[in-house]
Structure 1
Amino acid sequence: MYLTQGLHRAARQSPNGIAVIFGERKTTYAQLLERVQRFAGALVDLGLKPGERVGLISLNSEEYVAYYLAVWWAGGVVNPINTRWSVAEIAYSLDDSQTEILLMDEAFAPLASDIHAKSSCLKTVATLGCPSSQNDVVEMDPLIDSATAIADRCPSGDALAGIFYTGGTTGHPKGVMLSHTNLWTSVIARMATIHSPQDSVALHCAPLFHLAAAGRLIGQLTLGATSVLLPQFRVNEVLDSIERHQVSEATLVPSMLQMLMDDAAFSSEKFTSLRRVTYGASPMPGKLLGRLAQELPFVEIVQSYGQTEASPVISLNATTPGKGIPDARFKSAGRATLSIELRILDAQGQEAPPGTIGEITVKGPGVMLGYWNKPQETAQALQNGWLHTGDLGYLDEDGYLFIVDRLKDMIISGGENIYSAEVENALSLHPAVSQCAIIGVPHDVWGECVHAVIVLKSGYAATDVQLLEHCQTLIAKYKCPKSFEFADTLPLSSTGKVLKVNLRRAFAAQHEGTVVPASEQKST
């Protein structure tokens, strides 16, 4: 299949149906089709050939939707760029992927000259949705308006659809190569696994350069459903949009949900249209999950587990709190979608029995083609057709997946495996804790020990002794933090994940690479 198929179908079946809502503008499928045809024509006029890459650095907008579809319509490959990157990182991704055309919205247009100067591959830089004030930067909108609509080139199957860069926190980011089959299969598998009505209205506030957000957008376009776009996550805009546009589905990470429900304007009465909240990127703290169940019992809560390398959805767990689903199942990442085969491997590389923790590996048509220009990393990740996720988990007797930790975030202290998520869940139940993160730090006896970084709720106080005593009532003493630090905020990625590598670096800098001596540890 090809990723523009949904646009063809929707424009024929419901041309006046609303495809995109952005601000006060509503775009029908007929209007979107016309825009995409001309947009694709303009890209070809700029010299785009089949298989070549087109980059975009932009906040979410209706033009982001047109960008994805137009590049595919013209036979190109998308390279959506992380808006948090520095100019040097942006230039690296452009040169690494040999991207010759870069589009930029108004928010990032001032960077155009600097990016152009640092990139050796770029031939054309163009503004999208705004004028250009720089001589070497083209204005895309007049080109689109004057371009001739072209026929869909319909790249499909294993043809490369996008290069989605991951990482960037250590070393250079890796470009995940995903085909039309990869992305289309993942979208269809999600629809087949959980009911996806055509009249759904989905809110997109996570950045569309991330595949989790882009995948949901592709799903809505494939259905011929409606997408409500926000430039970025802002609590007041999300709350307003859900009520004003009668949003039925929203994809949010736990940190976003926490901020929404803590806001003074939050009210379950404003959420009567909402039927589903999908979350991922990080585990849902038990306390927040309980609050969702209490305040929004009518909303289906879907935990989505995946990776960019899997296009991205691997498993889904759809539960409705008001129906009394057992608490244990709330903690599960669900079962593998209908396009995924999933198994757990032990330390010897053998398939582990139910209940045994090991590395999660997956296989299926959604698994990536590989990493762009990185054969060694590709060989490490893809072994005999199986994607090694680097995540730790286990399956229960019914095939429900439980995520335990990132393999790299597991702490080995005195020969015992300690999973940071378990300690974080215990800490998050303390009434004074707003956010927390657990990392392993060097220890002169045990190799590593557990270190907690705590953000307290406004107006609350707690000491390390009080937090330690709290943890000891919930988990084994050897798992409890041996040291604490208090912070105003935690470093977060654009998807809401805690950047633990930053916390480790900060700890190392503060302690100048020394280990934490046993004399400073509280008794276990």
Structure 2
Amino acid sequence: MSARSLAAFQSTIVAETPFQAVADIIPLSDAKAIYASDASTGKHALTFSALKEFVTSMDLARFGLTREMVICTSMPNGPEAAVCFWALAGRCVFAPLNPNLTMAEVQFELTDLPAAAMITLAGDEKATMVKGCCAQAGIPVIELTPSRTTVGLFTLSGAEVPTPPTAEPTRPSDLALVLHTSGTTKKPKIVPLTHHNLGYGIQFVARTLRRTSAHTCLNVMPLFHIHGLIANVGASLYSESAVVCSSFLGGADFLRKCRAPERDSYPRPTWYSAVPTMHEAILLEAEKEKADGTLDHSLTLMRNCSAALLPPVAKRFLAAFAPGAPGPFTVVPTYAMTESFPICSNPPHLEVKLSTVGPAMGPSLKILKGYPEDVEVDVGTEGEVCVAGECVTAGYLIREHMSQDPNIEAFSLGGSPPGRMLRTGDKGYLDRDGYLQLVGRFKEIINCGGEKISPLELEDQLLDVPGVQTCVCFASPAELLGEVVGVACVVKQGYEPPTLDALRQGISTVGNRFKPAVLVYLDAIPKGPTGKPKRIGLAKHLGLPSLAGGMAVYSVKGTGDTLELPMLHTRTFLGTPVVVPTWTFPLTIRLEMNPDLISSPDHSTHVLEIDDAGCNGLRLTVTCYDHETPCPISSAQAKEAFADVLMKTTERGMLWEAAMASGKQVAEDFCADLYVTDESKELKHSWKPGCHDSPPGKLMRLLGVLDLHDQRDAAEAAARRLSADKVNNKHDR
């Protein structure tokens, strides 16, 4: 591809269709515009002309609502959610909410926006909590009842005012949409988008993808997210091409909808745009069906946005879908964000570089040094991706809870050489052809002792390791380096779990410091509400302790908010001795044991077994009472027996601190194996010369419980002697 052909194409990415409100870009046509994926409803598809007429006739003034008021919706995905955007944004400021928000999140949205009214789907049981929050806040609820005959149309019912306000005409500078960004450590910020921003953004996407009336989009993106509203629904309607509205119910359901639909209820989809987590589910099912010889689809284009699509995944998509496609099949990596939709896109009909997100398509793009330096860097040099143009928000809305104006760091100065540009927070560089290579989020960069590495650079290589279905790299806390590379890995079905050594060997582009030191096996990668992996704060989310040295492998069962505590499999040390003055580790207490020693009741009546995950899984057995006597030792007496060691509980386990426990530990000190059954977890420690002089050994000697290598009776006897000696010494004093 020549630079001239790319420049010529970029010059066509403009907004030619004039508009006042974003809905003005919908063409007048009797062709069918919006379909439902559920054929059982028996409804007629919504035409472009009928949609435009419905949008024009929308009346919110009868509810006392005016142009500048924020109107929220909380609805399931579907045609009505799609039409709400077009119908309401011209009469108010539209704010679609995720219907799966918690009560606290709903309350925050209602007060922070603030909302003047809430629209919910009639009969939707999930909206009960939302209605309760609205009632508590004094916000009126309007019910939406879908049409019985036409897809997407609806009626609204609620308390009406006797004297409706006069409806003001919509101007391009009016706010059309407000969305909260997904917050990490701070509260989410509000992104305001005008009709001007959205009208330009939709035309930029549509002209880049070159959609026509011959195409049909299958939308499975949530319609409370700008991706679904602009790229899928908006670009389709502007191009006079149809869109099938659906929820995402997994890869098998998606591929079923790409086959011949029931009773020809909608055209076979030719393209879709989604996030990597959705692509992954679709790809896994497609590969399975391809192996069975049953893969049947109608797709010719897959667009990725909102999070990076790793090149190995893109190549697998081409291998799975291209052979059976009705025409040339293209994978299109792109780049956009709520604050600017779009930014970049690979041109589908020109050169697609799967490792990049393509050149700028619509807005202008520059790479600047990190804040506060408003200085552009050279081609090929990494810096912060910055963007300006018609589709870019003017700035975040200011709220009282903010300690400072977020726009100070979010934009370069208007008087600087680059001019006022949105700082995306993404790190990347431009190649000589103008294609943007993303390196990662500045906040996601892993800082290993002052040297930094991008998680994306590592993930790209780790996906080629046998047994890895998907993975994310993240910053895991470490005592010596501050942070080390952690890998959260989902194991491919039918494969053995990849070892930490295998993952380290699978990375060839960086030194040992940047290779994974912590591995966590997960059932699923934790994700945010829009499907993006939770890299930021993932170690805290999983409850991982700070790594005192070496490397560790954990497993965490469960998904979402039901994650269990991390269970340590192994901990190994590198050849270099490390100083370990403290350990943090989760407790594992066998089912028949009682952790009364920790919770401090009057008496402890069971043996407490502690799996010390901070020291190679060494098991410490502490007896809190004498089996042979009917009178148990009180927990106060037991604690006094351990007075030489500071022992305290934390949110995720127990912290031991012992002055004599500092020292050096190398790989030869310990050898521990973990045996797991459905009923229990057993750790067996093999003796090696000098192991009792290691930090764990010293700690046990402080406790008076020597490691007797699975001779439990002798260990318990030692503990009883220690307890008795302590009590006797007290009485002697």
TM-score bucket of the superposed structures, by smaller chain = 0.7 to 0.9
* Number of the residue aligned with 2:85: 68
Considering Cα pairs closer than 8 Å and 6+ residues apart, tell me whether 1 or 2 has the greater RCO. Answer: 1
> In structure 2, what is the equivalent of residue 113 of structure 1?
131
- Deviation, 1:301, is 1.4
Q: Matches of 2:544 and 2:549 in 1, distance apart?
A: 15
For residue 4 of structure 1, what is the aligned residue in structure 2? 23
1:397 corresponds to 2:432: yes
Q: Residue 487 of structure 1: CA displacement?
A: 1.3
1:182 and 1:304 mapped to 2: Cα distance?
Answer: 18
5 Å-filtered alignment, 1:263-342, equals 263=285, 266-267=289-290, 273-297=298-322, 298-310=328-340, 312-319=341-348, 329-342=353-366
Task: Tell me if structure 2 keeps the 8 A contact 1:72–1:155.
Answer: no
Q: 2:72 pairs with 49, 52, 55, which one?
A: 55
- Residue of structure 2 in register with 1:89 after alignment: 105
Instruction: Give 1:433's aligned residue.
Output: 468
Q: How does 1:176-255 map to 2 (within 5 A)?
A: 176-216=191-231, 217-243=233-259, 244=261, 245-255=267-277
Does the CA contact (< 8 Å) of 1:5 and 1:222 recur in 2? no
User: Does the 8 Å contact 1:249/1:276 carry over to 2?
Assistant: yes
Match of 2:228, as an amino acid? A
1:491 aligns with 2:516: no
Partner of 1:141: 155
CA shift, 1:319, in A, is: 4.6
Structure 1 residue 429, shift from structure 2 partner: 0.8
Report the counterpart of residue 380 of structure 1 in structure 2: 409
What are the superposed Cα offsets for residues 148-198 of structure 1, whole Å, 9 maximum, x if unpaired?
xx9996523211111011114434221100001111111112233331213
SS at match of 1:398: coil
Instruction: Indicate if the aligned counterparts of 1:344 and 1:393 stay in contact, CA closer than 8 A.
Output: no
Does residue 344 (structure 1) correspond to residue 374 (structure 2)? The answer is: no
Show the counterpart of 1:356. Answer: 381
Paired with 1:523 and 1:101, the residues of 2 have a C-alpha distance of 64
SS at match of 2:303: strand
* Cα distance change, pair 130–503 in 1 and its aligned pair in 2 (3 A): farther
* Kept in 1: contact 2:174–2:195 (CA 8 A): yes
- CA deviations on 1:408-456 (whole Å, 9 max, x unpaired) are 0101213322111111112111120111111112323322211111111
Larger helix proportion of the pair: 1
**How far apart in 2 are the matches of 1:44 and 1:381?**
36
| Equivalent residue number for residue 517 of structure 1 | 549
SS in 2 for 1:287: helix
Show structure 1 runs of 5+ residues with no match. Answer: 132-139
- The one-letter amino acid paired with 1:58 is M
In the alignment, the residues of structure 2 paired with residue 494 and residue 448 of structure 1 have an alpha-carbon distance, to the nearest angstrom, of: 26
Q: 1:483 to 1:125 in 2, by over 3 A?
A: same
Q: How many residues align?
A: 496
Pair 505,152 (structure 1): closer, same or farther in 2 beyond 3 Å:
same
Which amino acid is 2:354 matched to? F
Letter in 2 for 1:116: C
Q: CA deviation at 1:21?
A: 3.3
Aligned to 2:602: none
Q: More deviation in 357-366 or 169-178?
A: 169-178
Q: What is the alpha-carbon root mean square deviation over aligned residues?
A: 2.9
Give the TM-score normalised by the residue count of structure 1.
0.87
Residue 260 of structure 1, CA deviation: 1.4
Partner residue, 1:135: none
CA contact (8 A) 2:120 2:141 kept: no
Distance of aligned partners of 1:463 and 1:198 in 2 relative to their CA distance in 1, 3 Å threshold: closer
Superimposed CA distance per residue, residues 270-292 of structure 1 (whole angstroms, 9 cap, x where no aligned partner): 55532211002222233222212
Percent identity over the alignment is 22
Contact 2:71 2:116 in 1 (8 A): yes
Counterpart for residue 17 of structure 1: 32
Query: 1:271–1:407: structure 2 CA closer, same or farther, 3 Å change rule?
Result: farther
1:338-360 per-position Cα deviation (integer Å, ceiling 9, x unaligned): 33333333574421111111111
- The 10-residue stretch of structure 1 (206-215 or 84-93) with the greater mean CA deviation from structure 2: 84-93
2:166 & 2:211 partners in 1: Cα distance? 30
Identify the residue that residue 718 of structure 2 maps to in structure 1.
none
Scaled by the length of structure 2, the TM-score of the pair is: 0.63
Match of 2:637 in 1: none
Write the mapping of 1:394-473 to structure 2, written as runs, cut at 5 A.
394-473=429-508
In terms of Rg, which structure is larger?
A: 2
| Structure 2: gaps of 5 or more residues | 1-18, 149-153, 262-266, 323-327, 415-419, 552-571, 577-733
